[in-house]
Structure 1
Amino acid sequence: MVSTPTRTGPGKSRSGDAATVGRAAGNAQPRKLISRLRSGVSGFWSTLEGSGKSRSNSTYYLVLGASLALTAIGIIMVLSASSVESIAAGESPYSLAAKQGMFAGLGIVMMLVLSRINVVWLKRFAWPAVILAVALLLLVLVIGKRVLGNQNWIEVGGFTFQPSEYAKFALVLWMATVLSVKAKLLDKWMHALVPIVPVAAVIITLIVLGHDLGTSLVVMLIMAAGLFFGGVNLKLFASAGGVAAAAALVLALTSGNRMCRITAWMGQGCTGASDIGFQSEQGMSALASGGWLGVGLGQSRQKYQWIPEAHNDFIFAVIGEELGLVGTLVVLVLFALLAVAIYRIVSQQEDLFARVLGGSIMAWMLGQAAINMAMVAGLLPVIGVPLPFISYGGSALVMSLCGVGVVLSLARAQMVPAKSSKPRRWPAIFARKRT
């Protein structure tokens, strides 16, 4: 006698239900795994950024923590990358690292001071700051110190100062002040571009006359970011981008060294300068030899006078060699966290002055970091832009930390004040006994 499966419904059997349930259970497991992964990532991010009223508070500490961590990494890597050349020059292996630490201390103090100041109070210094920047850039062309073909430093008492780094900070403050005053007129192209573009063009021209194309590109980026966050009509950026591209092309064609750098980046030879791509090749070799975990802190082989300016423009290559892919990813993550935190602060600003100020500082630091790391990785030609917070250079480090101080001031204005609580009572051990 043949048995038939018991029907549980029209056209369905128990065996069919079991197969359907089994397939559903099998499909549900990957979905549960993906759901748990998403919830874990969202939970980690919520913990990182905070929620509700504590979000602004956590953003403040995220900016502060990422900046201090990058500064600490910079001092350590400057010590590692510069020790060999310092010994070869007859100096202490700690000489450059000690100077970097001194400037880091000065920059942190200025950062904390600026973080306690209301940024609106800084408006009164906007015009004097930009006038001083232009004067210093003119002075550097007269008495400036020339290093590796660039005349960008003024030497005073054994210390060198780079006015172009100060000019970035001054331009950011000045643009925010001018655009906030002309807020109701920015829909007209004349008011949107004047006097921002002419003053920025003067600063860029003076920097280019010192043969520093990399810094001039960063200043262009700052100017574009200021106009963007100021709400200028986006149609103006098309024409401005065309003018900037034409200017960059002219600057490249009028300099044999720049053309050789571009042709070397494109994999072509350059007559009379066969070693023009040497620095880029050695940087790529350092990144490749680092592997996943690196050769060890202080164990770089490329820093033995193989990579020119190993402690400055190409310090990211030394990080990749000594700390490996993990070390480079740590630096990338810190810059990413800094970018997200600053953007969160800027996006919550209702005042035009604060929005332009914070947005320009974000473009300055993150744009310069992206250019440097892309240059070291071979994605851009070598244009001589230091890595913020990490590359050796007192002027750049102090000005970067001052920019962070301004961002922290904006974040403090958004922080939720602590709820009033009962007055503190001294512990019983310190309390006076009543007689």
Structure 2
Amino acid sequence: MSGTSRTPRGKGAKAGAPGRKRGRGAEARGVATWFSRLEDPSLRGAQINYYVVLGTTLALAFMGLIMVLSSSSVEAIARNESAFSDFSKQSLWALVGVACMLGMQQVAPKVLKSLAWPAIIGAIALLILVLAIGTEIYGNKNWIRFGAFSVQPSEFAKAALALWGAAIVERKTKLMGHWKHALVPLLVPVGGLVLLLVLIGKDLGTALVLGLVLVVVLFVGGAPRKIFVIGAGLAAVGLTAAVLLAPTRLGRVTAWLFGCAAGPPAAGSQDYCYQAQQGIYALASGGWFGVGLGQSRQKWSHIPEAQNDFIFAVLGEELGLLGTLFVIVLYGMLAVAMYRIAVRTGTIFGRVAIAGIMSWIIGQAFINIGMVIGLLPVIGVPLPFISSGGSALLATFLGIGVVLSFAREQRVRLQPAGTPRGIAALLARRRTR
């Protein structure tokens, strides 16, 4: 007989159980540590948040300018214009947007809160003006022309709704648990009026983004669950009606759900699939590394609105899967930094406002990407910072400026008294070298 001892069955399992428990505990502690890093309350954390938001915003805008130049040059030449025509306009809007963003970050959060009501009233007035004198483009009446320029007020309504909703939530903090106070005036009448005016202009994509902002404002503000349950039902009915009452939307949704062969026979389902199919072809031909910047073949009048709603397809074709992943990572970094700023903000107004702006920019980005890759039907939503369009770019820069205002306030609050800031800080550093 050998002298080796055998461990009875069951004891080994019991002995291993504590190890598994310790493993689970370590995993839970790891997750908690990760979240605590996200909520780092130090001055260094505040500085990182500020520069990540600023850096990712500028990186996305710079990439957007490059892609607008690449994707719009062919169509510009076809219109007998300079190949740099759209790029020049977008660059001008980008410069104005950066200036507005840097100016907005200097505005104190208290002043931002005082601007909430004027902002929402102005947005509603402009939306009503659109219905009266607006210009219809591609079936949507949401533009006002001023000479050579055109403005889309619904883009600025997104920022106004986030700011105004945050101000209302802070004022009614103790009452948000009651459904009546959560509904009035956030949804009835103001929020509902904004959505209705946009829907009358037939812009379903913008209405979806505005609805997302409202949902996030209510959720972060602590609205009761019954509002979301009832709201989901009403939204489903409203979306169904909006699709059924518009033949173009019905054709796109039907083609997306059941394939091109299921499109309405009168118009031909291929009409509703063409843009989405060409976008998929562009992404597929890009492969891992792309065909090269400026070398897209699909932008040669194959993809409608290549510089606008489907610019992500051209980006994927020219820069490949790695290029698209890089853009998605930038949006992810921007989202994490905005979350960090929101959880460190000491006021309900700041927390809700940042959450609303984050849902608008990041939510719209992933709606656009989902539309291009076929996960969502084509609904006409631009890609923030990258798609061509001055109103969308300027409004998004203003939204980021609001976020940077709270980030800057956190940095100032955490700095020791008497610490030099701005140019004085740079001069002090040079003297200490």
- Length-normalised TM-score, structure 2: 0.86
Matched, 1:105 2:95: yes
Name the structure 2 match of 1:160.
150
- Measured after TM superposition, the shift of residue 262 of structure 1 is 0.5
Letter in 2 for 1:323: L
> 1:290 and 1:227 mapped to 2: Cα distance?
41
- Measured after TM superposition, the shift of residue 130 of structure 1 is 1.2
> 2:179 and 2:429 mapped to 1: Cα distance?
62
> 1:136 and 1:236 mapped to 2: Cα distance?
29
Matched, 1:214 2:205: yes
Name the structure 2 match of 1:140.
130
Structure ID, larger Rg? 1
Matched, 1:173 2:138: no
> 2:127 and 2:407 mapped to 1: Cα distance?
32
SS state of the match for residue 276, structure 1? helix
Matches within 5 A, 1:181-200: 181-197=171-187, 198-200=189-191
Matched, 1:343 2:374: no
Matched, 1:305 2:298: no
Q: 1:317 aligns with which of 289, 303, 313?
A: 313
Contact 1:50 1:58 in 2 (8 A): no
Name the structure 2 match of 1:246.
237
Q: CA RMSD for the aligned pairs?
A: 2.6
> 1:424 and 1:66 mapped to 2: Cα distance?
28
| Deviations, residues 2-25 of structure 1 (Å, cap 9, x unaligned) | xxxxx9xx638xxxxxxxxxxxxx
Letter in 1 for 2:207: S
Contact 1:49 1:58 in 2 (8 A): no
SS state of the match for residue 246, structure 1? helix
| Deviations, residues 71-90 of structure 1 (Å, cap 9, x unaligned) | 00000000000000000001
SS state of the match for residue 211, structure 1? coil
> 2:429 and 2:191 mapped to 1: Cα distance?
57
Distance 1:88 1:351, change over 3 A: same
> 1:260 and 1:425 mapped to 2: Cα distance?
63
Larger deviation: 380-389 or 163-172?
A: 163-172
Name the structure 1 match of 2:69.
79
Matches within 5 A, 1:274-313: 274=268, 275-313=271-309
Name the structure 1 match of 2:424.
none
Kindly, what percent of the aligned residue pairs are identical? 50
SS state of the match for residue 350, structure 1? coil
Distance 1:125 1:321, change over 3 A: same
| Deviations, residues 42-101 of structure 1 (Å, cap 9, x unaligned) | 99x98x998944111101101110010000000000000000000000111111111111
Name the structure 1 match of 2:140.
150
Letter in 2 for 1:248: L
Contact 1:261 1:277 in 2 (8 A): yes
Letter in 2 for 1:11: T
Structure 1: tracts of 5 or more residues without a match: 1-6, 13-38, 429-435
> 1:68 and 1:300 mapped to 2: Cα distance?
24
Runs of 4+ in structure 1 deviating by more than 6 angstroms, as ranges, are: 48-51, 425-428
Letter in 2 for 1:155: R
| Deviations, residues 255-309 of structure 1 (Å, cap 9, x unaligned) | 1111100011121222222211100000000000000000000000000010000
> 2:87 and 2:149 mapped to 1: Cα distance?
14
Contact 1:169 1:403 in 2 (8 A): yes
Matched, 1:417 2:415: yes
Greater helix proportion: 2
- Length-normalised TM-score, structure 1: 0.85
- Measured after TM superposition, the shift of residue 425 of structure 1 is 9.8
| Deviations, residues 179-226 of structure 1 (Å, cap 9, x unaligned) | 111112111111111011021111111111111110001010011111
> 1:363 and 1:378 mapped to 2: Cα distance?
21
> 2:374 and 2:173 mapped to 1: Cα distance?
41
> 1:412 and 1:340 mapped to 2: Cα distance?
17
Contact 1:49 1:59 in 2 (8 A): no
> 1:73 and 1:201 mapped to 2: Cα distance?
35
Q: 1:91 aligns with which of 81, 90, 93?
A: 81
Aligned residues: 393
Matched, 1:392 2:385: no
Matched, 1:235 2:232: no
Q: 1:62 aligns with which of 3, 28, 52?
A: 52
Name the structure 1 match of 2:423.
none
Letter in 2 for 1:208: L
Larger deviation: 280-289 or 249-258?
A: 249-258
Letter in 2 for 1:326: L
- Measured after TM superposition, the shift of residue 104 of structure 1 is 0.7
Q: 1:270 aligns with which of 257, 264, 267?
A: 264
